[in-house]
Amino acid sequence: MSTVKNISSALISVFDKDGLEPIVRKLHEHSVTIYSTGGTESFIRDLGIPVVAVEDVTSYPSILGGRVKTLHPKVFGGILNRQDNESDVQQMKEFDIPQIDLVIVDLYPFEKTVASGAPEADIIEKIDIGGISLIRAAAKNFKDTVIVASVEEYSLFLDMITKNDCGTTIEERRLLATKAFHVSSNYDTAIFNYFNTDDTYYKESIANGQVLRYGENPHQKGFFFGEFDKMFSKLHGKELSYNNLLDVDAAVNLMQEFKNDDPTFAILKHNNACGLATRSNVKEAYLDALSGDPTSAFGGVLISNSKIDKAAADEINKLFCEVVIAPAYDNDALEVLQEKKNRIILIQNEVELPAKQIRTCLNGLLVQDKDNITDNKEHLKTVTVTSPTEQEVEDLLFASKICKHTKSNTIVFAKNKQLFASGTGQTSRVDALRQAVEKANSFNFDLNGAVMASDAFFPFPDCVEMAKQAGITAVIQPGGSIKDELSINYCNENNVAMVFTGTRHFKH
């Protein structure tokens, strides 16, 4: 068992004093000499506990409006000295430097100040200098010094010194040092990102990863780093899995396209929509989304842009599904949906989504701007003699939104704001189209008068020819092929309307 090293002296200087009192009282019980500054010093005195002002040790007051308090050899020497190094021991005596066994310090709330919209002068003053230096010094010297760098570690530290009669083991000091270096690196990352305007630099620091049951498969470890509870209120069901989270992410991003539309319901499987419809009420939207592919819907993730009422919940309850997401639920709807023990029910809160997308690649990362372009009427350029009808334009834009969030290569069929079928993740656009036709036919959809969306241009007329034969009357695609005229000519010869958006929406 590791030897316990007792604490005989401590430097405490914190911004957040919540939870500090029990620690101070425990240290006082064991006759620990406490050094402090400013507000923390007053806080300790008000508890009736003796405290030594740091300025009495350094013979320097706090100066420059509090910018310099602890930056002094008599403070940092006490923290950084190696107690088994004879030279260090002699210099401690020569310069009358007090030993400091424990440092409890936190940092000015830089991130909160930035988030508050404060002026830059206030933000700059929240860049901690003394605190970050104390943290790094004590963490570096964890062999002899204990560092508590966050109010989040107060409970852990109090348990340690209660168990060990005001002492710590080397393993405990190393653990606290690790947590301290996380605090310092996270803080520096936040400051860098505030100043940085160069997109060729990328730094991110996210704390408190959530351990998942497993990753994509049971033999893989899985973790989620983020603030799930800010984005969702979980009302019911089991813990979300790695794959659940991927599907929820896909569902949320897809439904953002329909956020301000009439009641819209989507069903997703493996990150792709297998059903989606916009209707006058949620129940009808759900039923028509389900009819798009009732087979794939089994075990899927469901999302609505509108409150789910009991009528919709009664229908949803007939389906085995993993997750239901909505901005709100009627109470009687919740009662119905909660009948299934493991069904995950989420309320989606209004939270700003990240502006960047990140994924691992080779021995590094790929970072890109999110695809924030949603095709609209102003983007459309009719390139055929035949123009799409008003209804076809609505369906083309509807299909385009789905296409944008479907794995490439993809083809999407839609009619009357209902997803009829899609071909997803195919190595050729012809295969994607064939898959979509076969799927639509298998669920008895009449493609006559339906529209088609493609996530990229057609280098040959084969796709529009196949689409016309299936009954498609209007097509939306980005355009941009050197052979665009081949597809345009076929459409002109066969009375098919085609519009270009000028924007490609690949999703790999």
List active site positions: 140, 270
**Strands of 270-424, DSSP E:** 272-278, 300-304, 321-326, 344-348, 356-361, 364-369, 381-382, 411-414, 419-423
Separation of alpha carbons 507 and 407, rounded Å: 5
Indicate the burial class of 116 (C-beta count within 10 angstroms; 0-12, 13-18, 19 or more). exposed
From CA 376, how far away is CA 396, in angstroms rounded? 10
Number of H helices, E strands in the chain: 19, 23
Copy the structure tokens of residue 335. 């009662």
Residue 485: what are its φ and ψ, rounded to 5°? Answer: -60, -30
**Surface-to-core class of residue 144, CB atoms within 10 Å of its CB (0-12 exposed, 13-18 middle, 19+ buried):** buried
Where does residue 96 fall: left (phi above 0), alpha (psi -120 to 50 degrees), or beta otherwise?
left
Beta strands per DSSP E along 395-487: 411-414, 419-423, 451-454, 474-477
Instruction: Using alpha carbons, list the distances in angstroms from residue 138 to 75, 134, 369.
Output: 11, 6, 39
Round to whole Å and give the CA distance between 233 and 324.
12
Q: How far is 30 from 38, CA to CA, in rounded Å?
A: 24
Q: Indicate the residue type of 492.
A: N
